[in-house]
Amino acid sequence: MCNEGSHESAQRAALVPFGAGCLLLTLGLALRTTPGVSQGLSAQLRFEYRELEVLPDTRSIQAVLTEYGQSGWELAAFEMGDLQTPRLVFKKGVPAAP
């Protein structure tokens, strides 16, 4: 039988590869270039951001990613923090007011 402390350590160790993968995904999205977008078009956009905390399970994270992705939001950042509460930051380009 394992004690409470070693069980928590095992859970955290299991989340480390997931967190590292999400960090790499976020970096890849941040470094990605969007072909076909001109300087003039990007100057006419302003960006709106939303920050969400989600339950720390794969299904909850995937559901939020799908919901926001289908609505035109782009994942801008993913933070695991203390490995307890994942935080997702989405961004969306909206036309600037004239």
Instruction: For the chain, give every domain's residue range.
Output: 4-32+43-95
| Alpha-helix runs per DSSP H in the chain | 4-31, 39-43, 58-70
The per-residue pLDDT for range 63-98, each reduced to its tens digit, is 999 999 999 999 999 998 776 889 999 999 988 877
Helices vs strands, H then E, count in the chain:
3, 3
Q: What is the pLDDT of residues 37-62, one digit of tens each?
A: 445 555 688 999 999 999 988 999 99
